[in-house]
């Protein structure tokens, strides 16, 4: 049966069933209503819009390629024996909109913007899914240049992953390393197109052309001297002709003049031809460099690869992103492109490239003699690719077909939304958690009303935020945190009276007797332990426990937080990680305000000790918030309004 949107609106449970299989965590709660239910209700409201309904009707078979169809089957858990229908594409798409996206690898630079788009701009997600399913790619026009990103060939194959949603996230991740100039590519550096790069292709081409130019210039000089001598000889014959004193001598001198004039003309033509060749050779190198630069970007693409080799890092300390080189074979269909995975494939792709690009470059060359020179150069380059000299140079730093990059959220946003200017943001280094909370509350107080108004009514609304190593979603509409930035008084006073002091009082009201000391300690360090005192405070207990087991700080702090449950954490952001949120709370072991990651059910809470150097003034690396949501309003290779009008 085709998907019935009105039925979904009246039956929330049926809507949930489309995405439930891909959610492994408990409902995410930051208010009496769960984010899970809020997200579904918001999505249902979007699906009732005229634009969403019109676009969903456009989803129809055939899909872009068999890979897309396999994603649909995986999303709906359909066997190969089930014949795909148009409504299957719609069901898979709608379930991707319903399924809350979470981060699974250390690639927050992509996950945070993807979560923002899904929650704040579902039409962008729907348009992207349409392009991926119908075309197998996303297109953007940036700086006057059209960029095509192919659908990600990998999505993880995890049972808790939604195939279409994860593929979309990994596809837009390619914008995070988007480069407008080929000289910034890893491939450019490996090829050595700069003639100053020893052992590179640029040096080879330059040296060959320079040698030919030197020889041709010598030939021009030689022919010019011969031409000068021939002209002098012709002038002598002309003078002798004027002195002829008989018809016979006149005929003889005239014949000599004609021969020498013809010879001089021949030398001039040869000289001019050699001069034209020298001119052509002198202009050929910049022409070839420009052509190869253009063609390499047409035939190759660097795209995000979630499974590429990378430096392993804790999920909570963002890891470098993996990117892989893709060879297009000169084809427009991404399903026909090759993801380069080995040394052999890399050099084979280069050979194919130079052979395929040759006739196109010859056609673009206006110099008549260019065809012969370009063909000869192509042969030399092909042979050069197989030499140890070039291969050692190309691979001396890292694999040209697979590399890691920091992954930049700002670059991704600029590429995805086609932004040529700078993103408006507020950022600064932080000296302690109180400073961070003050920074956020003051920032929100200073924002225009049209920006903050939506936060007062929608707890799901977000702003993109980042620490020095992680990108995530600031949630200004969460209860408690919203009260802080709506307060008209001094920010520090509000923090002291509403967060710090109540938290301290809750923690100071707890003491541990010997039995509880032994019980708690055995949970962590697995051996008998208690102090000599009958009762101890939480800070004192923590201090002594850390002396016994200093490497278990997170577990100890979590245990103490659960022992003191009286304080209410001030939740302010979605971490992207599983069911965790960022919150401010007083650390029971230090009695100081601290930054926590806390689970939605409140049963797990860990201070962000791994970020301590970003929270104590040790590091000058900034925290920041993107403060102008209107910056993130584009996002289509075609104008959004025009695209919606078409559907």
243/167 same-domain check: no
Q: What is the DSSP letter of 103?
A: B
Confidence band of 151 (pLDDT split at 50, 70, 90): very high
pLDDT given at position 319: 59
Q: Which of 42-46, 83-87, 350-354, 472-476 shows the lowest mean pLDDT across its residues?
A: 42-46
Residue 170 tokens read as 């990994």
Confidence band of 35 (pLDDT split at 50, 70, 90): low
Please give the full DSSP string across 255-291, using - where no structure is assigned. HHHHHHHHHHHHHHHHHHHHHHHHHHHHHHHHHHHHH
Answer whether 358's CB lies under 8 Å from 376's CB. no
Q: What is the DSSP letter of 192?
A: T
Q: Mean pLDDT, to the nearest integer, of 393-422?
A: 85
Taking only the tens place, the pLDDT of each residue in 563-589 is 877 688 999 999 999 889 999 999 999
Residue 137 lies in a domain: yes
376/498 same-domain check: no
Q: Mean pLDDT, to the nearest integer, of 36-60?
A: 87
Confidence band of 634 (pLDDT split at 50, 70, 90): low
443/578 same-domain check: yes
Q: Is 461 helix (H, G, I), strand (E, B) or coil?
A: coil
438/398 same-domain check: no
> Position of tokens 């011969």?
226
pLDDT given at position 447: 96
Taking only the tens place, the pLDDT of each residue in 302-326 is 888 877 644 434 455 555 678 889 9
Element (H, E) at 519: helix 514-525
Would the pLDDT of 192 be above 70? yes
Confidence band of 15 (pLDDT split at 50, 70, 90): very low
pLDDT given at position 640: 47
pLDDT given at position 641: 42
pLDDT given at position 204: 95
Would the pLDDT of 14 be above 90? no
167/228 same-domain check: no
Confidence band of 519 (pLDDT split at 50, 70, 90): confident
Residue 471 lies in a domain: yes
Would the pLDDT of 2 be above 50? no
pLDDT given at position 32: 35
Answer whether 507's CB lies under 8 Å from 590's CB. no
The gap from C-alpha 167 to its chain's centroid, in whole angstroms, comes to 13
Taking only the tens place, the pLDDT of each residue in 521-544 is 888 777 766 667 888 888 888 888
418/435 same-domain check: no
Would the pLDDT of 143 be above 80? no
Residue 559 lies in a domain: no
Q: How distant, in Å, are the alpha carbons of 260, 434, 466, 584 from that of 440? A: 92, 10, 12, 12
Angle, vertex CA 475, rays to CA 469 and CA 479, nearest 5: 135
Most confident option among 102-111, 151-160, 168-177:
168-177
412/430 same-domain check: no
Taking only the tens place, the pLDDT of each residue in 438-484 is 999 999 999 999 999 999 988 889 999 999 999 999 999 998 999 99
Q: Mean pLDDT, to the nearest integer, of 336-349?
A: 92
52/152 same-domain check: yes
Distance, in Å, from the CA atom of 123 to the CA atom of 413, rounded to the nearest integer, reads: 16
Q: Mean pLDDT, to the nearest integer, of 358-363?
A: 96
Residue 233 lies in a domain: yes
Residue 103 tokens read as 């981060």
> What is the percentage of the chain residues whose pLDDT exceeds 70?
88
Distance, in Å, from the CA atom of 91 to the CA atom of 4, rounded to the nearest integer, reads: 10
Bridge partners of residue 427, in order along the sequence: 624
458/353 same-domain check: no
Mean pLDDT of all residues belonging to the chain = 86
Distance, in Å, from the CA atom of 302 to the CA atom of 122, rounded to the nearest integer, reads: 27
Residue 108 lies in a domain: yes
370/265 same-domain check: yes
Confidence band of 188 (pLDDT split at 50, 70, 90): confident
pTM of the predicted protein model:
0.83
Q: Mean pLDDT, to the nearest integer, of 217-231?
A: 90
47/101 same-domain check: yes
Q: Mean pLDDT, to the nearest integer, of 22-26?
A: 41
Based on the structure, what is the number of domains in the chain? 3
Residue 545 lies in a domain: no
Confidence band of 11 (pLDDT split at 50, 70, 90): very low
Q: What is the DSSP letter of 339?
A: E
Q: Mean pLDDT, to the nearest integer, of 28-53?
A: 73
Which of 403, 434, 462 lies at the terminal end of a domain, its last residue? 403
Residue 296 lies in a domain: yes
Residue 619 lies in a domain: yes
Would the pLDDT of 30 be above 70? no
Q: Mean pLDDT, to the nearest integer, of 73-86?
A: 92
Would the pLDDT of 638 be above 70? no
490/435 same-domain check: yes
CA dihedral sign of residues 238, 240, 241, 242: positive
Structural domain boundaries, residue 113: 5-178+408-423+633-646
CA dihedral sign of residues 15, 19, 24, 27: negative
pLDDT given at position 313: 45
């Amino acid at each position: 049966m085709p998907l019935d949107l009105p039925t979904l609106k009246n039956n929330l449970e049926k809507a949930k069933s489309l995405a439930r299989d891909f959610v492994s965590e408990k409902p995410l709660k930051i208010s009496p209503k769960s984010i899970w239910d809020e997200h579904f209700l918001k999505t249902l409201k979007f699906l009732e819009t005229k634009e969403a309904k019109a676009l969903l009707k456009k989803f129809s078979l055939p899909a872009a390629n068999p890979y897309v169809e396999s994603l649909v089957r995986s999303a709906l858990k359909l066997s190969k024996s089930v014949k795909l229908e148009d409504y299957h594409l719609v069901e898979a798409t709608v379930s991707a909109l319903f399924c809350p996206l979470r981060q699974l690898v250390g690639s927050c630079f992509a996950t945070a913007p993807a979560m923002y788009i899904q929650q704040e701009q579902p039409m962008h997600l729907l348009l992207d899914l349409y392009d991926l399913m119908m075309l197998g790619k996303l297109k953007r026009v940036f700086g006057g240049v059209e960029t095509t990103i192919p659908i990600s060939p990998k999505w993880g194959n995890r049972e808790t992953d939604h195939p279409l949603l994860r593929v979309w996230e990994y596809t837009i991740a390619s914008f995070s390393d988007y480069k407008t100039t080929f000289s910034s590519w890893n491939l450019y550096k490996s090829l050595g197109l700069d003639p100053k790069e020893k052992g590179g292709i640029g040096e080879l081409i330059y040296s060959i052309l320079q040698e030919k130019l030197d020889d041709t210039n010598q030939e021009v000089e030689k022919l010019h001297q011969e031409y000068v001598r021939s002209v002098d000889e012709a002038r002598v014959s002309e003078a002798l002709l004027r002195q002829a004193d008989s018809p016979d001598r006149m005929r003889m001198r005239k014949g000599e003049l004609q021969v020498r004039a013809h010879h001089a003309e021949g030398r001039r033509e040869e000289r001019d031809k050699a001069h034209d060749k020298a001119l052509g050779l002198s202009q050929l190198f910049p022409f070839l460099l420009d052509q190869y630069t253009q063609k390499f970007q047409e035939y190759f693409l660097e795209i995000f690869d979630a499974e590429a080799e990378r430096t392993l890092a804790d999920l909570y300390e963002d890891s470098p992103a993996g990117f892989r080189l893709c060879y297009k074979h000169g084809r427009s269909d991404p399903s026909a492109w090759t993801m380069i995975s080995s040394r052999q494939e890399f050099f084979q792709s280069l050979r194919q490239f130079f052979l395929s690009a040759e006739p196109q470059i010859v056609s673009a060359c206006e110099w008549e003699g260019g065809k012969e020179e370009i063909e000869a150069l192509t042969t030399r380059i092909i042979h050069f690719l197989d030499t140890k000299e070039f291969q050692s140079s190309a691979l001396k730093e890292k694999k040209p077909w697979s590399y890691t990059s920091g992954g930049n959220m700002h670059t991704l946003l600029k590429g995805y939304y086609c932004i040529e200017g700078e993103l408006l943001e507020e950022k600064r280094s932080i000296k302690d958690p109180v400073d961070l909370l003050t920074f956020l509350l003051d920032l929100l107080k200073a924002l225009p009303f049209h920006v903050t108004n939506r936060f007062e009514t929608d707890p799901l609304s977000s702003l993109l935020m980042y620490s020095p190593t992680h990108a995530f979603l600031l949630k200004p509409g969460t209860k408690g945190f919203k009260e802080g930035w709506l307060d008209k008084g001094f920010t520090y006073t509000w923090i002291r009276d509403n967060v710090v002091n109540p938290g301290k009082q809750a923690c100071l009201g707890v003491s541990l007797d010997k039995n509880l000391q032994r019980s708690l300690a055995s949970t962590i360090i697995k051996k008998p332990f208690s102090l000599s005192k009958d009762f101890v405070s939480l800070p004192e207990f923590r201090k002594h426990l850390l002396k016994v087991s200093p490497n278990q700080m997170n577990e100890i702090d979590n245990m103490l937080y659960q022992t003191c449950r009286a304080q209410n954490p001030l939740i302010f952001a979605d971490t992207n990680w599983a069911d965790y949120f960022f919150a401010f709370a007083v650390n029971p072991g230090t009695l100081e305000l601290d930054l926590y990651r806390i689970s939605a059910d409140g049963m797990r809470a860990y201070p962000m000790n791994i970020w301590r150097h970003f929270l104590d003034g040790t590091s000058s690396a900034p925290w920041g918030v993107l403060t102008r949501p209107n910056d993130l309003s584009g996002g289509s290779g075609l104008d959004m309004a025009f695209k919606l009008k078409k559907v």
